[in-house]
Structure 1
Amino acid sequence: MKPIKPFEPILTEVIPKGDQWIAQVKWDGTRILTYYDGDRTQLFNRKKNEKTQQYPELLKPSSFIQAKNCILDGEVIALQDGKPSFYEVMRRDRLRNLERLSELQEKVPITYMIFDILFLDGNWLVDKPLQERQQILSEKISGNEVVQLVESFSDTQGLFEVCQQHQLEGIVCKDLESSYTINGKDARWRKRKKEQDLIAIVGGVTIKNNIVHSLHLGLFDKVGKLFYIGSAGSGKLSANDWVTITKVMEPIIIQDCPFFNQCDVKGGVWLRPALTVKISFLEWTEGKTLRHPVIESFVTVPIEECKLE
């Protein structure tokens, strides 16, 4: 079986409602498709990179699905303090030294959250509506300690509020009539993420084609040193905004890196702390950097107020 690129949801701020929509928890893990030909099992991520060796717990589909062969779609997650942790699952996903695998299996147990089935017993199911594919999953999958079937909820707004209360990543809303478009992405599947935000100091930039391309961000620690918290290049700024930033920064360019903990950013042009920007993000990582930072807008908040709590 050749790996495929899975169907992707689009980002949305409006949660769809109505009888045709269901919502599922958006698990904070790594997307993994399972390919089982009746004998051999292979695992691939959304970019078609093989991950078979990283997750040996999933290599016997006969223990959790009644099928001669199949292709399953789901999310591999790992828990930390009872909640899915992207950092933890990446310890497994990025493992290169397989001699450490058995050790990590004990330290970082994983769960495979299955939410779709694309192929079963020699037949493609991608043209069938989601509602029918879900029914097939419920009949064929038997959950165990490692494999679970993702639950669906008709109260889309209610599920999102529960996810916010429990600090989960968000939800994915799906049209029950939707087919599964391989290598597709459209509004029949929509993801609504929780977000956090803060005001950060711009301590440097990366320039591409003579225009600022991304911002290097920091906050002051307790003793007044600028602590690097990540870089952001995506967001709501227009092309004209980037041109303006390029001009505004010229008087505050400095020679030395203003961050005390990170100065090896490739292509960095350093700035005297003066500019502040509002950033939304998913969560803090273990290393005190922002996960998926997005630039909302520049603001006029004094830099003294931008502190690492």
Structure 2
Amino acid sequence: MRLKFVPPLMPTLVDKPPESDGWIHEVKFDGYRSQIVRDADGVRIFTRRGLDWTSKYRDLAKAAAELEVESAIIDGEIIVLNDAGLSDFGELRKAITRRQQDLYFVAFDLLHLNGHDLRDMPLEDRREILEALIPEGGRIQFSQALPGDAKAIFHLVDQAGLEGMVSKRKDSKYRSGNSTAWLKTKAYSIDEYQLLGVEREPGKPAFALMAERGTGRYVGTAFITLNREMRERLWERVQQHAGAAPKGMKRPATQWVKPGMIGRVKHLRGEEDLRHASLQDFREE
């Protein structure tokens, strides 16, 4: 029987992890959500949106072909580790094209096995079967649940510089699409960006437009949550350093600034562009 890609279950972002007993907690890996499909026709590896990327993941496909199963659909994340042993999204693209041997597939759910659809089974049972399938020390690894209570786990995840954690109801069935049976809690980072300008409209919160330092790539906006004195000082500097809009950017309510102003921004970790971001401080280069 030829198996088809199953659209993934997508976790809901929350501010803090659930603290009751009915949940397991795992590390939120910073990589590409992917799905391994193995059947009589061989192995295929799909992206989150169902694109067949098997040719990009040759080594992982080979590892999946060695699992002792007839057929399976495994949900997981493709990652690459940095020198500190943490998943590193920035290195992932390079590894896909140049360093196949550095890619890992971290498996966290099993949707189908040897002709049986497992999606109606409780998560705990699906994971137990999955863990037994995966040999230790290979390219495909099992995502272990973290021991301890949610608060303590999140503190450790944050301190370790990880992207965050995912909490899953132990008894939940697997349903494609957005779900509250899985919750993700993300940690925050503080980084420096180039300030492009400030947008202020009456009756609306003010925010800063930020770009990557060095490349000048626009990465999004950060709310200006500074105290009154700092806000006034920022506005004064922005007017002193007024500049032209970057090429292709049209935002009528923005006061643009010349290059040279740097903002410290608190934002969700592990995102390519700024999300849930706020300006903490600023300085001139």
Decide: shared fold, TM above 0.5. Answer: yes
Work out whether residues 236 and 297 of structure 1, in 8 Å CA contact, stay in contact via their aligned partners in 2. yes
- The equivalent residue for 2:78 is 76
What's 2:90 paired with?
87
**CA contact 1:72–1:116 (8 Å) conserved in 2:** yes
Q: Is the 8 A contact 1:279 1:295 kept in 2?
A: no
Task: Report matched runs for 1:123-142 at 5 Å.
Answer: 123-142=116-135
Gaps of 5+ in 2: 226-234
Task: Note the C-alpha offset of 1:279.
Answer: 4.2
Q: Does 1:195 align with 2:188?
A: yes
Structure 2 SS opposite 1:291: coil
1:186 is aligned to 179
| Alignment pair present for 1:4 and 2:6 | yes
| Residue 157 of structure 1, CA deviation | 2.3
Query: Deviation at 1:45?
Result: 1.0
Question: Match of 2:128, SS?
Answer: helix
- CA distance in structure 2 between the partners assigned to 1:58 and 1:199 by the alignment: 36
Distance 1:38 1:58 in 2: 18
Long gaps (5+) in structure 1: 96-102, 238-247, 258-262, 285-289
Distance of 2:277 and 2:263 partners within structure 1: 7
For 1:273, which of 240, 257, 270 is the aligned residue? Answer: 257
Alignment correspondent of 1:17? 19
* Contact persistence 2:81–2:87 (CA under 8 A): yes
> How many residues in Structure 1 have an aligned counterpart in Structure 2?
260
Matched, 1:105 2:82: no
Say if 1:136 and 1:277 are closer, same or farther in 2 by CA, change over 3 A.
same
Equivalent residue for 1:51, pick from 50, 53, 62: 53
Deviations 1:193-219 (Å, cap 9, x if unpaired)? Answer: 11024686752489xxxx9xx963159
2:38 aligns with one of 16, 28, 36: 36
Closer, same or farther: CA 278–5 of 1 in aligned 2, 3 Å: farther
Residue matched to 1:151: 144
RMSD, aligned CA: 3.7
Is residue 256 of structure 1 aligned with residue 244 of structure 2?
yes
Deviations 1:93-149 (A, max 9, x none): 4x4xxxxxxx5325xx11111000001111111111101101111222223331110
Q: 2:186 touches 2:269 (CA, 8 Å); kept in 1?
A: no
Equivalent position to 1:230, from 218, 238, 241: 218
Query: Corresponding residue for 1:244?
Result: none
Corresponding letter in the other structure for 2:71: N
Question: Which string of whole-angstrom CA distances, capped at 9 and with x for unpartnered residues, describes residues 131-185 of structure 1?
Answer: 1101111222223331110101242222222212211111100100111102x21
Q: What SS class does the counterpart of residue 14 from structure 1 fall into?
A: coil
Is the 2:262–2:284 Cα contact (8 Å) retained in structure 1? Answer: no
Q: Partner of 1:188: helix, strand, or coil?
A: strand
Q: Deviations over 1:202-252 (max 9, x none)?
A: 52489xxxx9xx963159x8xxxx984633269899xxxxxxxxxx9xx97
Q: 1:88 to 1:296 in 2, by over 3 A?
A: closer
| TM-score with structure 1 setting the length | 0.70
CA distance in 2: counterparts of 1:166 and 1:67, whole angstroms: 35
How many percent of aligned residue pairs carry the same amino acid?
24
Instruction: Provide Cα deviations, 1:57-101, integer angstroms capped at 9, x if missing partner.
Output: 1223242x32110100111110111221101112244x4xxxxxx
Partner residue in 2 for 1:173: 167
TM-score w.r.t. the length of structure 2 is: 0.76
Which whole-Å deviations, capped at 9, do the CAs of 1:18-65 have from their partners, x for residues lacking one?
3211100111111110011134111111111221111111223242x3
